[in-house]
A and B are shown apart, each in its own frame.
Chain A
Amino acid sequence: MSETTVSLKRRKRRINAVSVPAEAVIHIIMILFCLFCIIPFVFVVIISFTSEESIRQIGYSFIPNEWSVEGYQYVMKMGAQLWRSYFNSFFITVVGTICSVLMCVLYSYALFRPDFKYRNFFMFISFFTMMFGGGLAPTYAVSKQLLGLHDNYAALIVPLLFSPFNIVIMRTFFQSSVPTELIESAAIDGSGEYNTLFKIVVPIAKPGIATIALFNALAYWNDWFTAMIYVRDAKEYIPLQYLLIKMQRDVQFLSQNSASLGAEAVKAAVNLPAQSLKMVLVVMIVVPITFAYPFFQRYIISGLTVGSIKG
């Protein structure tokens, strides 16, 4: 029996596939765009292996005068702080993604239910914060002084836990993939609300949930601003992304204030990490999350979930 379904599927796909020339055109467009996307990164990798000398002489180039692993050696010398930051980024991303996806699914599922009494109210309070906020300083004061969100992991996770944007997206996913009859029939069968959500709705909405999880993971992995604001005394909580941004900000500040600082700026700039080092850090940030990407993609690319509506 299983054999017949397989052959049936294959046949169907053939029937419904685009014509060969059309697919060729698609491939050409995709390959061109992918090149456009990947070349800058390749370039960053090349610069990360370029010697400072070469950058000073001919600037950034695809074919440097001289190769070097100096940047990587320097990074390795940072030792403890670097690995600690790596760990922090992983930890924050994993814990943050799990918690935020859970919160998002719960919140948007309730909003998706047309029979939820306070649906509009909770939709509005979430939407309203997308438009209005108290500003940086008041948020900082409340988080830090009232909620104790500083110099700990919570300070790096909590501020990004909830995103009104993702709520709307998730709700739309539910609306377009989960038939309301399914929930009604589950209710008649005596299934509890949480049971319905996790046993019936979540499996259907997997592509949507994977998308939200991906967005959240990216948000956590790329976040440096939270760390800059809330990690001040305890440097052991600094995530990788902020380690990189810090160096860039140092350089930028010194160039903006070089007139006031005079020789101080030049002296300080000499101690700052060089160009290739910055690119080394970019490589170190991008590579791990790229490996995590296929994990989410499994669910996002079609072929997995179709048909699950029936069971």
Chain B
Amino acid sequence: MKKKALALVLSVAMMATMLSACGGNSGTSSTDTSSTTESSSTETASSTDTAAPAEDELAEHVTIKWYLEGSNVSDDTEVMAAVNEYLGEKLNMTLEPIWGTWGDFDEGASLSLQSGDDVDIYFTCSWTTNEYSQYAKDGYYVRLDDPENNLLEKYAPDLLGLIPDVLVDGANVEGASGFGVYAVPGYKDIANQYCWDVNVTLLEKYGYTIDDVKNRSFDQFGELFETVKQGEGANFFPLLPESSVIERCVNRVAAIDDNGLLSYYFNPENPSEPLSKYGNVLQNKFATDEFRTFAEQMSKYYAAGYVDPECANSQTSQETRTAHQLEGSYLIGVQSYAYGYEAQASQERGIEVQFVPCEDPYIDTVSSRGAMMAISTASKNPERAMMFLNLLNTDPYLMTLLEYGVEGVHYTLNDDGCVVFTDKRADYTPWRNGMGNITILPPQEGEGVGYVERFKEYYGASHMLPTTGFTFDTDPVETEVAACKSIVEEYSTALYMGSAKDGMLDEMLERLDGAGMQKIVDEANRQLDEFFKSK
């Protein structure tokens, strides 16, 4: 009986093999277009040097599926009608967006990629599970500047020129087909700048000014906190922290990847240089003196009742934080700065909000890969996908249509040429930074004329960390990373928020040691050395 069952399992597995192979093939043949083979496109490409795609390349009508992140779209009929009319004319294609939301993108896009769905373009970045460098390395994305089939050169020769170099540097990774570009970076907020988010209204009520915050370091805030806490009562919490952000407000430290295990310390005077104490060496995030001092200070503030204990719970901290912000019930919070956000925050919260920057804006690998668009290796029409991405990032009409909707329906333009949204916008709100080049968009009402110029100037002045472009390939230490990560999960919120008990940091460090943390640090530094050598 067991033998029979085994035989059945085996035969079923065999069948599965055959059937799915067939499925894969039938999938290919059943798409409405038979794909242009790579060789033919290479030939046509060599005969055309201009950006305008040759006629015969557009002969077939194709459908391009586009998987986006962070959308809030319930009705896209009008927008897509206009988009497809335009795209049909320009590129003989139909666009089918898949409006991924914050909550379902990770699961949906990874499954889609892993199982080879017929989606052509995916949003990718440094901070979701659909992680750019990892997925490029595993072969999910087409190399866009592949010497054998250079899609960028052929269909989007000017595209990268429009984007700041730092973004292009960030897009260059060691992928499955060699070192190159595997996604088109979106031109959006690209720099990190961590700030104290100060409730000036409240501050002034107690006779302080913004300078009292500016001239104090983190460990000197206690006096302000104490005064305001006394005045506002026991259920008021002056300090409104957010997990790892507050560490970056206090210490000049940058993350290396999404795992939150390693730190890179940079020079407070000039983020383009390392902190001389450490040099270009990555640190175990929790083992530095700087981290210990920070954690101890947080513990003091927490014990003094300056931090809402509900912030110390990873599940509720964000909701608690948003609630306190909207209420204006905080004195000093933390915020990773986005250009133009100060005014919006003041308006939303009904208080005067000022951001006090803790450092000059800087760019690192993570921020340079904040939002990108990659073409899937499973795409049947990578050429057309590339043409679309090119048009999207260079054609203001198309970009505005996709981002803001139809003029007269979703928005109107005021006398200054700024965008004013209508009620219909609620049905169609894609994530603005998640599409591409936002500098070709008209400014919104709150941003005002000249926004793009100011935006470019602000980010143009930002520094580049020496490690920008470096990707830590965790594959050689994947077991250690998984184990250490689960340990960090246990302690990090408590350490960041100050609710940690005495000795907790040491306990964690000991366990990290046991799980092979040193091996991770060594491997990362070995890779970083190589990175600097090749630079």
Contacts and interface: CB of A to CB of B under 8 A. Distances in A.
Q: Do chains A and B touch in the complex (CB under 8 A)?
A: yes
Interface of A: 55-57, 81, 120-121, 124-125, 128, 136-138, 140-142, 144-146, 228-229, 232-233, 235, 245-255, 257-271, 275
A2 B437 CA distance: 84
B108 A125 contact: no
User: What 7 A-B pairs have minimum CB-CB distances, sorted nearest first?
Assistant: A249-B103, A255-B318, A262-B336, A263-B338, A141-B115, A260-B127, A250-B103
Contact of B338 (A56, A81, A262): A262
B117 interface: yes
A248 B20 contact: no
Given A128-B9, A229-B107, A263 B101 contact: no
B245 interface: yes
B221 to A, nearest CB: 21
B419 to A, nearest CB: 16
A265 B1 contact: no
Nearest to A247: B103
Contact of A137 (B115, B126, B245, B345): B115
B5 A142 contact: no
B128 A255 contact: no
20 contacts: A56-B326, A56-B327, A128-B9, A140-B111, A141-B20, A142-B23, A144-B115, A228-B108, A247-B103, A250-B101, A257-B127, A258-B245, A259-B242, A259-B243, A259-B244, A259-B245, A260-B126, A262-B189, A269-B322, A270-B326
A120 B242 CA distance: 58
Contacts, number: 135
Contacts of B101: 246, 249-250
Nearest to B111: A140
Contacts of B242: 258-259
Contacts of B16: 142
Given A146-B23, A228-B104, A261-B127, A121 B325 contact: no
A56 B9 CA distance: 56
Nearest to A227: B104
Interface in B1-44: 1, 4-5, 8-9, 16, 19-20, 23-24, 27
B323 interface: yes
A278 to B, nearest CB: 11
Contacts of A248: 103
Interface in B316-340: 317-319, 321-323, 325-327, 335-338
A145 B348 CA distance: 46
B117 A249 contact: no
B297 interface: no
Contacts of B112: 232
Contacts of B46: none
Contact of A121 (B1, B96, B106, B319): B1
B209 interface: no
A233 B103 contact: no
Nearest to A254: B102
Contact of A263 (B70, B321, B326, B336): B336
A137 to B, nearest CB: 5
B366 interface: yes
Contact of A251 (B96, B98, B319): B319
Given A138-B115, A235-B74, A258-B318, 9 more contacts: A128-B9, A140-B115, A229-B108, A232-B112, A254-B102, A263-B337, A266-B325, A268-B102, A269-B322
B106 A253 contact: yes
Given A141-B116, A255-B315, A259-B242, A271 B103 contact: no
A262 B318 contact: no
Query: For the complex, would chain A's binding face be called helix, strand, loop or mixed by DSSP majority?
Result: helix
Contacts of A254: 102, 318
A146 B126 contact: no
Interface in B434-449: none
Contact of A120 (B1, B318, B323, B348): B1
B243 A145 contact: no
A128 B318 contact: no
A270 B322 contact: yes
Contact of A145 (B27, B105, B244, B323): B27
A269 B318 contact: yes
Contacts of B9: 128
Contacts of B366: 260
B429 interface: yes
Interface string B294-325: 00000000000000000000110111011101
Interface of B: 1, 4-5, 8-9, 16, 19-20, 23-24, 27, 70, 72, 74, 96, 98, 101-108, 111-112, 114-117, 126-128, 189, 242-245, 258, 314-315, 317-319, 321-323, 325-327, 335-338, 341, 344-345, 348, 366, 370, 429, 431, 433
A136 B104 CA distance: 15
A257 B336 CA distance: 12
Nearest to B103: A249
Among A232, A246, A257, A267, which residue has the most Cβ atoms of chain B within 10 A? A232
Contacts of B258: 260
B258 to A, nearest CB: 8
A262 B335 contact: yes
Contact of B98 (A145, A232, A257): A232
A275 B126 CA distance: 30
Contacts of A262: 189, 245, 335-338
Contacts of A136: 111
Given A232-B108, A233-B96, A255-B319, A124 B117 contact: no
Among B19, B23, B429, which residue has the most Cβ atoms of chain A within 10 A? B23
A238 B214 CA distance: 51
B125 to A, nearest CB: 8
B331 to A, nearest CB: 17
B23 A265 contact: no
A120 B117 CA distance: 38
A246 B243 CA distance: 24
A121 B2 CA distance: 9
B371 to A, nearest CB: 9
A251 B319 CA distance: 8
A253 B245 CA distance: 16
B218 to A, nearest CB: 18
A235 B117 CA distance: 18
A229 B1 contact: no
A60 B322 CA distance: 16
A79 to B, nearest CB: 10
Contact of A125 (B5, B74, B104, B106): B5
A264 B319 CA distance: 15
A268 B317 contact: no
A228 B19 CA distance: 26
B108 A142 contact: no
Contacts of A275: 319
Contacts of B327: 56-57
Nearest to B322: A269
Nearest to B23: A146
A252 to B, nearest CB: 7
Contacts of A268: 70, 102, 431
A203 to B, nearest CB: 34
Nearest to A255: B318
Contacts of B72: 271
B23 to A, nearest CB: 4
B19 A252 contact: no
A128 B318 CA distance: 43
A201 B429 CA distance: 57
Contacts of A229: 107-108, 111
B36 to A, nearest CB: 22
